[in-house]
């Protein structure tokens, strides 16, 4: 790899990544959380348990989920009926996991559903094997551990990408510890998935009885704190953040040629990354020469790039052929 060329750990060169995730698809998710997120330009993941549609029959659930998907949120899978998967046989596992995924995708007009969350946070090797067949990542749910550090090596823990730990936002102690978790995750360059349950207010009180529910004021307090850290965190849906991490782990940059005013290279995968797990990465090139103009070609076509005083940043995918060109101050035209 060229000494001035790197794949960013997280998209856009952000120090760390954070995902807001919502469990079960409760009435307060559509009525309160979705609007609060939109007001703060935050994208999130909604893990949907399909049988929860019955809790609020007056809502057009598919319309709301389609709308959230169009806005850039991720609609993800949390089974058909919130079954205990560890106590389910093969047919029930297929119904709860793959059947629910297919129903979601059919009603989202083919938008892929690639993320999964385990009901009750319970899973075993058999459950993981079924999830792996059609999903790219899975999120667990654990009791709060104030000492747990959300690093970037979560894929090396038991279960890997199919047992990713989250910060349970319903625990009272999290409120006082949250700033520390944010700072530690930034320092470690890690990934902080935040797990929210129900959200309620006086106008929409039904989530109040939901285990782990937060008031609207409590939730928006967390959302405001997260938004204030947008300069350090790439705040992205869970599946998108995991796919980026997975692709960055597998990708490498190979220099093909170099001249006085250009560099040709390609992005390759050294781990046989399946297409459904892959994501577009961001590449950073240190501005190692004094140049008045820069251009990036991706598979022969010019692409947008971000230019700062010290670096050039652009998007690329595994398999891309790339050229970076620069013009000296005396000749600013390509």
Residue found by looking up tokens 């057009």 in the block: 60
Q: Which two tokens stand for residue 273?
A: 């990354």
Which CATH homologous superfamily contains domain 15-242? Answer: Glycoside hydrolase/deacetylase (3.20.20.370)
Positions of CATH 2.60.40 in the chain: 245-327
Convert the pLDDT of each residue in 191-235 to its tens digit. 999 999 999 999 999 999 999 999 999 999 999 999 999 999 999
**pLDDT at 329 (0 to 100):** 63
Of 141, 91, 151, 92, the C-alpha closest to 116 is 141
Task: State the CB neighbour count (10 A cutoff) for residue 211.
Answer: 9
DSSP, collapsed to helix, strand or coil, labels residue 232 as coil
Q: How many angstroms from the chain centroid is the CA of residue 246? A: 11
Positions of CATH 3.20.20.370 in the chain: 15-242
8 Å CB contact between 247 and 273: yes
**pLDDT at 287 (0 to 100):** 82
CA pair distance 191, 68, nearest whole angstrom: 23
- In this prediction, the residues of the chain whose per-residue pLDDT falls under 50 are 334
Please count the CA atoms within 13 angstroms of the CA of 98 that sit on its side-chain side: 13
Residue found by looking up tokens 């040709």 in the block: 264
Q: Identify the CATH number of the domain defined by range 245-327.
A: 2.60.40
Convert the pLDDT of each residue in 98-122 to its tens digit. 999 999 999 999 899 999 999 999 9
């Amino acid at each position: 790899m060229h000494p001035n060329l790197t794949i960013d750990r997280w998209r856009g060169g952000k120090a760390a990544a954070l995902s807001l995730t919502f469990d079960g698809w409760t009435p307060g998710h559509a009525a309160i959380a979705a609007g609060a997120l939109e007001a703060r330009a935050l994208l999130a993941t909604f893990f949907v348990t399909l049988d929860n549609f019955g809790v609020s029959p007056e809502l057009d659930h598919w319309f709301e989920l389609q709308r959230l998907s169009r806005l850039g949120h991720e609609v993800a899978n949390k089974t058909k009926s919130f079954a205990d998967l560890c106590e389910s046989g093969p047919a029930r596992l297929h119904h709860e996991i793959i059947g629910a995924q297919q129903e979601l995708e059919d009603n989202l007009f083919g938008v892929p559903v690639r993320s999964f969350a385990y009901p009750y946070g319970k899973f075993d090797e058999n459950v993981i094997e079924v999830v792996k067949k059609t999903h790219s990542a899975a999120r667990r749910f654990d009791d709060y551990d104030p000492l747990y550090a959300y690093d970037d090596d979560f894929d090396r823990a038991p279960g890997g990408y199919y047992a990713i730990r989250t910060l349970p936002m319903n625990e009272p102690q999290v409120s006082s510890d949250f700033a520390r978790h944010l700072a530690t995750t930034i320092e470690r360059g890690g990934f902080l998935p935040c797990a929210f349950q129900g959200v309620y207010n006086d106008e929409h009180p039904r989530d109040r009885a939901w285990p782990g529910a937060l008031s609207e004021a409590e939730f928006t307090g967390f959302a405001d704190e997260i938004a204030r850290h947008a300069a350090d965190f790439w705040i992205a849906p869970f599946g998108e953040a995991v796919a980026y991490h997975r692709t960055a782990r597998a990708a490498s940059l190979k220099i093909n040629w170099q001249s006085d005013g250009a560099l040709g290279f390609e992005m390759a995968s050294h781990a046989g990354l399946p297409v459904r797990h892959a994501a577009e990465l961001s590449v950073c090139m240190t501005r190692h020469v004094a140049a008045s103009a820069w251009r990036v070609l991706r598979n022969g076509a010019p692409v947008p790039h971000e230019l700062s005083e010290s670096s050039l940043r652009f998007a690329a995918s595994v398999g891309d052929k790339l050229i970076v060109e620069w013009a000296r101050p005396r000749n600013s035209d390509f």
